[in-house]
């Protein structure tokens, strides 16, 4: 029987690899023997060094996802990609009602959370379609489902993740006939530096699991979405929130 989770000889781009979720996805993909291209604003050399003992090849590249010209140039230099996993994202805290920095916060949030993944998908998907196969996995948020775990979540963040979920379904229709599938995960409260820095008043007693999720509990589902095993899944957003919300 063929192991549909074995990525030996397949090349996977992981964007946002320096973050907790991107790093977790990269580690999971490394155990699946994938050849990895790890990107972030600063090349994730440390993670690449950590994963060099895996059976696949690993390289680290600096890339600003919001710079369309740079994205096009770098993606062309990566060669044929079998899968793309995006775990980039930002949460900008501010006063959305009367804060002077509201416009700047909105622009930065949409730039990184929407424009960045969109730039990469539009650069990667056509080549996958021409080859007749490909996997794309994006990272959205439970906030797009229910406006967030707490009432203090930023509307710019909710809007950005909602836009990403809509794009997953849009692109799924665009490329399904060409053998390319695109899906996403929607994490709830996960123990990452971004969650902690958001300073939202989480009450663990109100979470069904009574704990935050772990980065690897998102990284492994992201990795699965990059495998042949999800060949008949497309346009799907997988909820990973410990039972806090059911879509």
Which of 58-62, 122-126, 213-217, 239-243 is predicted with the least confidence, judged by mean pLDDT? Answer: 239-243
| Residues 6 or more apart in contact with residue 170 via CB below 8 angstroms | none
Tokens representing residue 227 in the block? 């495998």
- Six token digits for residue 39: 């990107």
Q: At what angle do helices 102-110 and 155-175 cross, to 10 degrees?
A: 20
Crossing angle, helix 116-131 and helix 155-175, to 10 degrees?
A: 10
The Cβ of residue 239 has, within 10 Å, a number of other Cβ atoms equal to 17
Reported residue count of the chain is 247
Average model confidence (pLDDT) for the chain? 91
pLDDT mean over 206-213: 85
Kindly state the average pLDDT of the residues 218-236.
Answer: 97
Domains of the chain: 11-240 (3.40.50.720)
Give the pTM.
Answer: 0.93
Beta bridge partners of 14: 38, 85
The answer to whether residue 247 scores a pLDDT higher than 70 is: no
> Which of 89-93, 112-116, 161-165 has the lowest average pLDDT?
89-93
- Beta bridge partner(s), residue 180: 134
Q: Left if phi > 0, otherwise alpha if psi is -120 to 50, otherwise beta: which for 134?
A: left
Is it the case that residue 186 has pLDDT exceeding 60?
yes
Beta-strand relationship, 58-62 and 134-139: unpaired
Who contacts 247 (Cβ-Cβ below 8 Å, separation ≥6)? 145, 186, 237, 239
Determine the pLDDT at residue 46: 96
CA dist., res. 6 & res. 199, Å (int): 39
> What's the rounded Cα separation, in Å, for the pair 144 and 9?
35
Q: Which pLDDT tens digit goes with each residue over 164-174?
A: 999 999 999 99
């Amino acid at each position: 029987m063929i192991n549909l989770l074995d990525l030996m000889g397949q090349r996977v781009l992981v964007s946002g690899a320096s973050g907790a979720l991107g790093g977790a996805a990269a580690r999971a993909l490394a155990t699946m023997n994938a050849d990895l291209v790890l990107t972030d604003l600063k090349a994730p050399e440390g993670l690449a060094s950590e994963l060099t003992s895996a059976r696949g090849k690993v390289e680290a590249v600096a890339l600003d996802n919001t710079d369309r010209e740079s994205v096009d140039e770098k993606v062309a230099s990566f060669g044929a990609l079998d899968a793309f996993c995006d775990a980039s994202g930002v949460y900008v805290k501010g006063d959305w009602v009367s804060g002077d920095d509201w416009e700047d916060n909105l622009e930065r949030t949409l730039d990184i959370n929407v424009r960045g993944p969109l730039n990469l998908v539009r650069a990667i998907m056509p080549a996958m379609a021409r080859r007749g196969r490909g996997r794309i996995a994006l990272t959205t948020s439970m906030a797009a489902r229910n406006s967030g775990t707490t009432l203090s979540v930023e509307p710019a963040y909710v809007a950005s993740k909602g836009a990403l979920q809509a794009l997953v379904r849009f692109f799924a229709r665009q490329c399904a006939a060409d053998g390319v599938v695109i899906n996403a995960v929607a994490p709830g409260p996960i123990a990452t530096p971004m969650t902690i820095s958001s300073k939202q008043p989480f009450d663990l007693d109100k979470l069904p699991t009574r704990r935050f999720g772990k980065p690897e509990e998102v990284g492994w589902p992201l990795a699965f979405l990059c495998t042949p095993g999800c060949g008949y899944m497309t346009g799907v957003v997988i909820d990973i929130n410990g039972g806090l919300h059911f879509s």
